[in-house]
C-alpha cells in the first residue's frame, strides 16, 4: 500500500454539502453497520432456538411461498420457502453460522500469521525481512480460487478444507502493512531504551511493538472479514465449498438460479444478507481506519 | 533498472514454478489420488480395473517421479487428454479461450473509460452530490459478490424487463447487434469491480495532481478550466490507473470463473468449474496453469511499469 498524501478539505464545503453531512455522520459513528452485524451474529449463534423450522426439511405442500411482503406471502414463512418447501428464514440462520464461522477462523489464522511474519520481518530486517517479504509476494501471486478447484477434486469438499484454504490464502495480506509499521517504530527512543535496559527481543516485540501495531492489525482484520465471507460464499456457489448437505448462503444462491423465473427470492434473499454483512464490515473497517490511522486511507 | 528487471523476471519464474508444484502437490494430497480422474460415486468398477487405471496414469509410482514426468510433458506443451471429452486438453482450451478473451476485452473497455471519466468528475466536483453518489456505488460494488450481481442483473434486465438475453454467447452466424447484446450483461458484471478500482484510483491521484504547483501555475496563467483538468492534470493523474490495468486484467481471471458460470458463457473459466465437478484433472490443471501464467505475467508487467514510472521502487 503506497502512502497517499492527506488532502485537506475546506471546512466550509463540508457544511454546505448536505449529502456529505449524512455520509460523514455514518462515518463518525457506525451505528447501522454495528446493528446489522450484531443481528446477524445473534441469529447465527442462536439459530437452533430462533429457527422456526428444520433447515433441511421441506414441506412440499408449502413450496414456492413468496416472502411476506409479496402477494401470496405467508407470515409463518416470512422470508418465503424454496422449491422444496424449506423455510428460507431458517436456512438463512443456519447459513449465517457457516459464513461467520469460516470467516472468523480464516481471519483469525491470517491475523496471527500476518502479525507474526510482519513483526518478525520488520523487527529483524536484513535477510529475515528479505526472505519473508519474498514469501509474502509469492503467496499473494498464487490464484487461490483455482487452487480451491483442485483441492475440491483431490480432497473432496468439506468444511475443514474451506477453512484451511481461506486461512492460508489470507495471511499474507496484512503482513506488509504491519512490517511497514514496525519498521517505523523500530528506531523510536523507547525501543532503544528498552534495549539498553537489557530487554530481550521477545519482550520488546510483545511489550513495546505489538501494542503499537494493534491498530493496523484491527483495521486490516475488519476489512479482510468481508472478503472472506464473499470468498466462502463463492466457493459454495461453485459447488466446491462446504458440502451441499449443509445450508450455506452461497449454495442457496446457486440453487435459486434455476428458478429465477418463478421462485426468484431463493437467490435474492441470501445475496442481500451477504451484501449487508460485507458492507457493514467494510464500513466499520473504513471507520476504524479513519479513527486510528488516516495514512492507511486510500479512498481520500 | 536492468538489475531490477532481472530480479523480477527470476521471481516471476519462481512463482510459476511454485504454481506447478502447488497444483501437482495438491492433486496428489487426497486420500486416493485416483479421485482426480474418477468420481468416487463410480459404482461397479472392479478393484482390478481401478488398479489398471492407476497404472495407466502412473499413480503407482513415487511422488517425485510422477512430478518430473508431468512437468516434462507440460514443458513440451503436452497437457494430456481430457477424461470427460477424450480429446487433447490443448485443443479444448484453444477452442474456448477466444470467448473468454473477448468477454474480458469488452469488460475492460466498459470498466476503464467510465471508471476514469467518473473518477475525474468526482475529483473535480469533490464533496458534491455526484461525488458521493459514485463513491457510494463503488462501495456497494466492493460488497456485492459478482455471482449474485450477475443473477440480479439476469432477473431484472433479462427476465423482468426482457431487454437483453439472459445468458450464453450468440452464434457467430448471428447479426452483429444480436451478438453484441449477449455481451452486455456478462461484461458489465465482470467489469463492475474493476470500474470501482479505476474510479477510486483516478479520483485519488487526480486530487493529488489538482493540488500540485504546476496546476496552480497553469490556472494562474489563465488556462481554461477544461484544459487544466483534461490536458494538464489528467495526463499526470492517469499514471496510477494505467499501471494498475495489469492487475485489473489479472482480477478478471477470478471474475471470469464466476461470471462465465452464471451466464453459461463458453469460455475457460466455466471449463475449469466443469472440470472440477467432473473430476477431470488434465483439463483443470491445463486451465489453472494457463490462468496462473497469465496472472504471473500481468503481475510482472505491473511491477515493471511501476518501476519505469517511479524510480524509487527500483532501489527498494
C-alpha angle B100-B106-B108 in degrees, rounded to nearest 5: 100
Do the chains contact at B284 and A150, CB–CB below 8 Å? Answer: yes
**How far apart, in whole angstroms, are the C-alpha atoms of residue B243 and residue A210?**
34
- Residues with Cβ within 8 Å of B50's Cβ and at least 6 positions away in sequence, in order, are B34, B38
CB atoms within 10 A of CB A137: 16
**How far apart, in whole angstroms, are the C-alpha atoms of residue B197 and residue B186?**
18
**How far apart, in whole angstroms, are the C-alpha atoms of residue A205 and residue A195?**
11
Report yes or no: B11 and A137 within 8 Å, Cβ to Cβ.
yes
Report yes or no: A276 and A100 within 8 Å, Cβ to Cβ.
no
Residue A150: name the closest of B27, B291, B287, B59 by CA. B27
**How far apart, in whole angstroms, are the C-alpha atoms of residue A177 and residue B273?**
34
Neighboring chain A residues of B31 at a CB cutoff of 8 Å:
155
* All cell numbers assigned to A151: 483441492
Counting beta carbons within 10 angstroms of the beta carbon of residue A55, is it exposed (0 to 12), middle (13 to 18) or buried (19 or more)?
buried
To the nearest whole Å, the CA of B61 is away from the closest chain A CA by 17
Tell me whether B100 touches chain A (CB under 8 Å): no
According to the model, what pLDDT value does residue A11 have?
A: 45
Neighboring chain B residues of A226 at a CB cutoff of 8 Å:
142-143
In the three-class reduction of DSSP (H, G, I as helix; E, B as strand; rest coil), residue A86 is classed as coil
Domain spans in chain B, listed from the N-terminal domain onward: 94-281
**How far apart, in whole angstroms, are the C-alpha atoms of residue A165 and residue A109?**
11
According to the model, what pLDDT value does residue A152 have?
A: 84
- Residues with Cβ within 8 Å of B14's Cβ and at least 6 positions away in sequence, in order, are A138
To the nearest whole Å, the CA of A265 is away from the closest chain B CA by 10
- Residues with Cβ within 8 Å of B25's Cβ and at least 6 positions away in sequence, in order, are B67
According to the model, what pLDDT value does residue A19 have?
A: 52
Report yes or no: B302 and B290 within 8 Å, Cβ to Cβ.
no
**How far apart, in whole angstroms, are the C-alpha atoms of residue B107 and residue B103?**
6
Do the chains contact at B145 and A146, CB–CB below 8 Å? Answer: no
According to the model, what pLDDT value does residue A172 have?
A: 79
To the nearest whole Å, the CA of A202 is away from the closest chain B CA by 28
Q: Each residue of A263-276: b (16+ CB within 10 Å) or e?
A: bbbbbbbbbbbbbb
Neighboring chain B residues of A141 at a CB cutoff of 8 Å:
15, 295-296, 299
To the nearest whole Å, the CA of B79 is away from the closest chain A CA by 16
Q: What is the ipTM of this complex?
A: 0.84
Considering only alpha carbons, which residue of chain B is nearest residue A145? B254
| Helix residue ranges per DSSP H, B125-212 | 129-143, 146-153, 176-210
What number of C-beta contacts closer than 8 Å exist between A and B? 173
Neighboring chain A residues of B127 at a CB cutoff of 8 Å:
9, 13-14, 17, 20
CA B120 → CA A50, B82, B211, B234, distances in Å? 49, 48, 14, 8
* All cell numbers assigned to B172: 457467430
Q: Which of A154, A262, A280 to mutate to test the interface with B (most CBs of B within 10 A)?
A: A154
**How far apart, in whole angstroms, are the C-alpha atoms of residue B201 and residue B116?**
8
Do the chains contact at B145 and A234, CB–CB below 8 Å? Answer: yes
Query: Which residues between 123 and 152 in chain B have a beta carbon less than 8 angstroms from any beta carbon of chain A?
Result: 126-129, 132-133, 135-136, 139-140, 142-145, 147-148, 151-152
Do the chains contact at B139 and A138, CB–CB below 8 Å? Answer: no
Report yes or no: A171 and A180 within 8 Å, Cβ to Cβ.
no
Q: Which residues of chain A have pLDDT under 50?
A: 1-2, 8-18, 298-300
To the nearest whole Å, the CA of A199 is away from the closest chain B CA by 31
HSE-CB of B230 using CA atoms within 13 angstroms? 6
Neighboring chain B residues of A267 at a CB cutoff of 8 Å:
148, 151, 155
pTM (2 d.p.): 0.84
**How far apart, in whole angstroms, are the C-alpha atoms of residue A105 and residue A108?**
5
To the nearest whole Å, the CA of B143 is away from the closest chain A CA by 5
Query: Which residues between 200 and 259 in chain B have a beta carbon less than 8 angstroms from any beta carbon of chain A?
Result: 200, 204, 207-208, 211, 253-254, 257-258
In the three-class reduction of DSSP (H, G, I as helix; E, B as strand; rest coil), residue B46 is classed as coil
**How far apart, in whole angstroms, are the C-alpha atoms of residue A219 and residue A178?**
11
According to the model, what pLDDT value does residue B133 have?
A: 86
**How far apart, in whole angstroms, are the C-alpha atoms of residue A232 and residue B147?**
12
**How far apart, in whole angstroms, are the C-alpha atoms of residue A170 and residue A3?**
22
Give bridge partners of residue A81 from the DSSP assignment: A87
* All cell numbers assigned to A233: 460464499
Chain center to CA of B162: 29
Q: Which residues of chain B have pLDDT under 70?
A: 40-44, 310-316
According to the model, what pLDDT value does residue A58 have?
A: 79
Report yes or no: A142 and A165 within 8 Å, Cβ to Cβ.
no
To the nearest whole Å, the CA of B251 is away from the closest chain A CA by 10
CB atoms within 10 A of CB B191: 26
A152 closest CB neighbour out of B18, B147, B276: B276
Chain center to CA of A65: 32
A149 closest CB neighbour out of B31, B132, B273: B273
Neighboring chain B residues of A282 at a CB cutoff of 8 Å:
139, 142-143
- Residues with Cβ within 8 Å of B169's Cβ and at least 6 positions away in sequence, in order, are B99, B179, B182, B183, B265, B266
CB atoms within 10 A of CB B33: 19
* Domains of chain A: residue spans and CATH: 50-292 (1.10.3720.10)
**How far apart, in whole angstroms, are the C-alpha atoms of residue A93 and residue A169?**
27
Report the topology of domain B94-281.
Answer: MetI-like fold (1.10.3720)
Do the chains contact at A154 and B128, CB–CB below 8 Å? Answer: no
Query: Which residues between 3 and 62 in chain B have a beta carbon less than 8 angstroms from any beta carbon of chain A?
Result: 11, 14-15, 18-19, 22-23, 26-31, 33, 35-36, 40
HSE-CB of B65 using CA atoms within 13 angstroms? 6
Amino acid at each position: 500500500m503506497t502512502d497517499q498524501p492527506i488532502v485537506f478539505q475546506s471546512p466550509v464545503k463540508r457544511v454546505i454539502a448536505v449529502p456529505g453531512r449524512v455520509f460523514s455522520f455514518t462515518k463518525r459513528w457506525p451505528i447501522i453497520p454495528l446493528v446489522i452485524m450484531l443481528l446477524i451474529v445473534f441469529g447465527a449463534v442462536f439459530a437452533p432456538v430462533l429457527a422456526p423450522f428444520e433447515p433441511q426439511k421441506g414441506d412440499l405442500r408449502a413450496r414456492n411461498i413468496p416472502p411476506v411482503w409479496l402477494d401470496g406471502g405467508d407470515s409463518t414463512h416470512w422470508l418465503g420457502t424454496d422449491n422444496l418447501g424449506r423455510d428460507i428464514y431458517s436456512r438463512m440462520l443456519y447459513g449465517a453460522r457457516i459464513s461467520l464461522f469460516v470467516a472468523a477462523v480464516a481471519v483469525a489464522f491470517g491475523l496471527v500469521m500476518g502479525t507474526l511474519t510482519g513483526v518478525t520481518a520488520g523487527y529483524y530486517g536484513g535477510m529475515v525481512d528479505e526472505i519473508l517479504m519474498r514469501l509474502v509476494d509469492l503467496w499473494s501471486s498464487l490464484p487461490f480460487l483455482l487452487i480451491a478447484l483442485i483441492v475440491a477434486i483431490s480432497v473432496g469438499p468439506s468444511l475443514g478444507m474451506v477453512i484451511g484454504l481461506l486461512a492460508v490464502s489470507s495471511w499474507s495480506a496484512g503482513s506488509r502493512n504491519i512490517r511497514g509499521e514496525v519498521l517505523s517504530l523500530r528506531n523510536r527512543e523507547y525501543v532503544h531504551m528498552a534495549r539498553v535496559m537489557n530487554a530481550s527481543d521477545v519482550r520488546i516485540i510483545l511489550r513495546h511493538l505489538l501494542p503499537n501495531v494493534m491498530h493496523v492489525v484491527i483495521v486490516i482484520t475488519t476489512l479482510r472479514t468481508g472478503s472472506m465471507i464473499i470468498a466462502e460464499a463463492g466457493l459454495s456457489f461453485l459447488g466446491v465449498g462446504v458440502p451441499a448437505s449443509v445450508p450455506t448462503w452461497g449454495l442457496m444462491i446457486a440453487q435459486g438460479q434455476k428458478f429465477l423465473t418463478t421462485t426468484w427470492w431463493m437467490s435474492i434473499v441470501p445475496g442481500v444478507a451477504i451484501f449487508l454483512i460485507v458492507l457493514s464490515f467494510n464500513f466499520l473497517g473504513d471507520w476504524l481506519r479513519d479513527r486510528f490511522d488516516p495514512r492507511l486511507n486510500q479512498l481520500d | 533498472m536492468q538489475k531490477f528487471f532481472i530480479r523480477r523476471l527470476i521471481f516471476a519464474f519462481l512463482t510459476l514454478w511454485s504454481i506447478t508444484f502447488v497444483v501437482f502437490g495438491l492433486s496428489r494430497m487426497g486420500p486416493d489420488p485416483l479421485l482426480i480422474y474418477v468420481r468416487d460415486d463410480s459404482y461397479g468398477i472392479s478393484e482390478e480395473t481401478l488398479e489398471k487405471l492407476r497404472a495407466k496414469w502412473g499413480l503407482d509410482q513415487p511422488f517425485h517421479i510422477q512430478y518430473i514426468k508431468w512437468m516434462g510433458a507440460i514443458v513440451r506443451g503436452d497437457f494430456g487428454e481430457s477424461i470427460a471429452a477424450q480429446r487433447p486438453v490443448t485443443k479444448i482450451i484453444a477452442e474456448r479461450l477466444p470467448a473468454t478473451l473477448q468477454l474480458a476485452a469488452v469488460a475492460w473497455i466498459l470498466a476503464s473509460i467510465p471508471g476514469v471519466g467518473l473518477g475525474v468528475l468526482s475529483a473535480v466536483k469533490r464533496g458534491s452530490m455526484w461525488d458521493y453518489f459514485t463513491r457510494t456505488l463503488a462501495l456497494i460494488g466492493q460488497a456485492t459478490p459478482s455471482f449474485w450481481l450477475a443473477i440480479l442483473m439476469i432477473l431484472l434486465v433479462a427476465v423482468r424487463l426482457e431487454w437483453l438475453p439472459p445468458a450464453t454467447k450468440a452464434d457467430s452466424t448471428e447479426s452483429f447487434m444480436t451478438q453484441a447484446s449477449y455481451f452486455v450483461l456478462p461484461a458489465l458484471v465482470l467489469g463492475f469491480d474493476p470500474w470501482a478500482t479505476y474510479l477510486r484510483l483516478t479520483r485519488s491521484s487526480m486530487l493529488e495532481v489538482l493540488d500540485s504547483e504546476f496546476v496552480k501555475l497553469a490556472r494562474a496563467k489563465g488556462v481554461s478550466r477544461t484544459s487544466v483538468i483534461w490536458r494538464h492534470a489528467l495526463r499526470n493523474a492517469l499514471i496510477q490507473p494505467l499501471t494498475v490495468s495489469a492487475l485489473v486484467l489479472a482480477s478478471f481471471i477470478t471474475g471470469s470463473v464466476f461470471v462465465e458460470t452464471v451466464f453459461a458463457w463458453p469460455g475457460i473459466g466455466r471449463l475449469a468449474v466443469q472440470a472440477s465437478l467432473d473430476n477431470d484433472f488434465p483439463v483443470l490443471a491445463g486451465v489453472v496453469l494457463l490462468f496462473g501464467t497469465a496472472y504471473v505475467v500481468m503481475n510482472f508487467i505491473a511491477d515493471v511499469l511501476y518501476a519505469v514510472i517511479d524510480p524509487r521502487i527500483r532501489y527498494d
